[in-house]
Amino acid sequence: MLEKVREFVGRHIAFSVFLICLVDCVFLFYVANSLSISYNEAEIFFNKQNFLSYILNLSAQIFGQNDLALRSVMIFFHVISVVLMYKVSKFYIKLEFDRLVAVLLFILLPGTLVSAIIINNAGLCIMLALLCIYLFHIKNKILFVAFFSMAFFIDGDFLIFYVSFFIFALYKRKPPLAWLSAILFLLTLCFFGFDTNGRPSGHFIDTFGIFAAVFSPFIFMFFVYTVYRIWIKEKKDILWFIAICSFCFCMIFSVRQRLELEQFLPFCVIATPLMVRVFFNSYRVRLPKFRKGYKIFTILAMLLLALNWTIIVFNQIFYIFLNDPTKHFVYKFDIAKELANKLKEAGIEDIYTYDKRLGLRLEFYGLKVKNDSKNLLTSVDLNKNSRFCVKKMGKIIANFDIRGN
């Protein structure tokens, strides 16, 4: 059966990648349509002056100011990243079937899935990082330098990316690349800096836990094993340098302070070709009777990945089982859209609220938030009657009322 799958993949690889992207997009749009804009996302859209903000505002002008117009940008970045992941995997993996496994693993990682939906720099960083790696491998120097330099405009998130290329250039004795990486690193550090303020406090365990959540526990264990094995036994290429530098620097700095993990995690999740290569190399050199441990590990890892994916995609159903809806992990991405629609249906076009975060979110959906508005929006206890209740899966998760201001 496995041989037939491999044969089909070898003959129809383009169709296989297209089908994977299509199915992936269907579920991503389903999730995107079920979420409201969060406060942090509204901040990026309204108040940030960066590359991502300009793209989001352009999309909203073309397709209208709605959730799908914004999240479609992130889904577009994700689809490009999936295609680039397949292209990049050709430089690390020999068999077409293994490359497809690397693509599937990349898509199923919780961190990748979240970056394809949530509006922040992570999805853009993943796409640009993979693009730079691909251009580096095909030796297109002009485009590589262009996109490598373009990353400088992404809020300083590529600081560790430049460090990785600099160390790689020193290791491989490539002076031009070392100089370019050093210059971009210094410019990024000068313009955006690296936060080292505050009292030293350890966040190593927290950071370790976030990494485990982004990869899923079993995959994270294998990620650590992969970078260590390549370090002591195998050829070291640019993708390994990016992954090991991002992971090690993040762990080291987390001993002292809480980090912006968007600057590190995107450059670790792109290491899936390395993990797939190490896994299949170790699996295939063993006789069938000695592969039992690998099969058990694969089954457990895939079951956990599938469970994580299901929880994220069909997250709304968990409201049924929660007594306190605010404990839901996507609560901060809910309420605003439904509340705005109910207010507009009631003929209310302007409001005032003490909750400035909620006010900014409601502005995205066309409501005017004014200090002199006569409509004071207040939150009401879930057990009390109110004019505007927000429901998910038939359960009330928020109550609001309008009073005179």
Kindly report, residue by residue over 100-114, the tens digit of the pLDDT. 999 999 999 999 999
- The more confident residue out of 203 and 332 is 332
DSSP 65: S
* pLDDT of 4 strictly over 70: no
Q: How many CB atoms are closer than 10 A to CB 258?
A: 14
- The more confident residue out of 156 and 57 is 57
Kindly report, residue by residue over 78-94, the tens digit of the pLDDT. 999 999 999 999 999 98
Average pLDDT, the chain: 86
Kindly report, residue by residue over 206-220, the tens digit of the pLDDT. 777 888 888 888 899
Q: Label the pairing between strands 368-369 and 375-380.
A: unpaired
Radius of gyration of the CA atoms of the chain, in A: 23
Identify which of 390, 213, 389 has the alpha carbon closest to the alpha carbon of residue 316: 390
For residues 43-71, average pLDDT: 91
For residues 354-359, average pLDDT: 90
For residues 39-63, average pLDDT: 91
Contacts of 251 (CB under 8 A, 6+ apart): 204, 207, 208
List the strands of the sheet with 350-353, edge to edge: 368-369, 350-353, 375-380, 395-404, 388-392
pTM for the predicted model, two decimal places: 0.91
pLDDT at res. 26: 92
